[in-house]
Structure 1
Amino acid sequence: MTGQPDTPLPRDGGWAAYTDHARRLSALLKEERASAERQAAAGRDGQAAVDQLTHRVAAQRQHLHHLAATLRLPAPQFGRVAPGPIPDPAEALRRATTAANAADAAAENAHRRAAQPPLLPGFTPLARNALVYSVAATVGTFASLLMFALSPDKDLGRIPLHLVPWSLCGLPALAFFAGYLTISLVGQPRIGGGGTRSRKVGGVICFVGMPILWFIFIAATRG
């Protein structure tokens, strides 16, 4: 029976070259496999980072809509932005993360400013309200003194009795409501609550302080 001839074994030098190439091929295959695994891991990490950033941007959008509604501002518009020439996905992801961090910082700053009243935000509520009522009482006192100075009874050496109700009741009431309205409009935080109008303090300043100043003025001018 005639069979195929056996394959001749390579000589020692050929076998050594064969095994050397086989080892190199095996090492190359391992390196390619490791590189592919690294790329796959980087792709998974990148996709996870993109998903996380996408959820973060969606939460930011919802927060901005809520903040705009709370501050009674127009709803923000989110248009599409043309992608920039950034060929490296890692660099693009880094820039997107930086932009998201800046957006969070801006939203936090807006929230912090909205939690403070527009008028004298660095003052405590009591100090701010007392100052507002004091300014209103001072203006009312000057108006009362001006009315007294322009009254014809003053030239006759008499107290203008027709000005007494205004000086003791009318003008203090106007000063109180002017201060109260000012505090209500620009002296209250727009979000977060915690505002106060200090009505008792305003009442003391306007309805007690103004008449005292008026009596002191009358006593000084007649004494």
Structure 2
Amino acid sequence: MATSINKAFQFTESRETKMKDSQAFWDDTAARYAKNPIKDIDSYQKKLTITQEYFQPDWSVLEFGCGTGSTAITHAPFVKKIIATDISSKMLDIAEQKAKKESIKNITFQQGTLDKLEFEPSSFDAILGLNILHLLEDMDAAISRVYNLLKPDGIFVSSTVLVDNINWRFLIPVMQFLGLAPFVHRFGKQELLSRLTDTGFSIDQEWQPGKESVFVIAKK
């Protein structure tokens, strides 16, 4: 019994340590991240348009891993409210400043991770997880949590880097050792789609703007 308790404590302690490391990485990266231009603006705009075609004025939306808030701010006029979350307080500071500057008042920013923040089941019409799933160690738990939080017929919008298709993927361990890259989960498009459908989602749309990423609208 004592051994089981010790193992559980060590696992919890390990998760907490990794979370603190991840928060520190993104806090340190926030200012540089905010200054980086979007690499493929045409693809980004297409993703925004596809997503907004689903939105309704009375919808409640959750975005986890919102970064500096650019996407949430762009979507805000199309829905009733958005809760935008991120592990990094520095990212959220920048996001709040941007929203204030643009007089956006229907976004609530919250610090935390998807597994830690408390929301009621079936609370949201849409959940956005953009460029985040490949950064999560337990992607299956995140997808299940999203499914639980969505209302019936709600949508999960994801844009995900396919790390196995990145030409310089072999450099990632070196970059991580140097503190220049966070944890990344390596999977291909079919594995991602299978994990979504195994959870109970149906794939409403999928689009691959290039070999290194895939954009998916999954419906509960």
TM-score, reference length from structure 1: 0.21
The structure having more radius of gyration, on CA atoms, is: 1
Structure with greater contact order relative to length (CA < 8 Å, sep ≥ 6): 1
Q: By percentage of residues, which structure has more helix?
A: 1
Q: By percentage of residues, which structure has more strand?
A: 2
TM-score, reference length from structure 2: 0.21
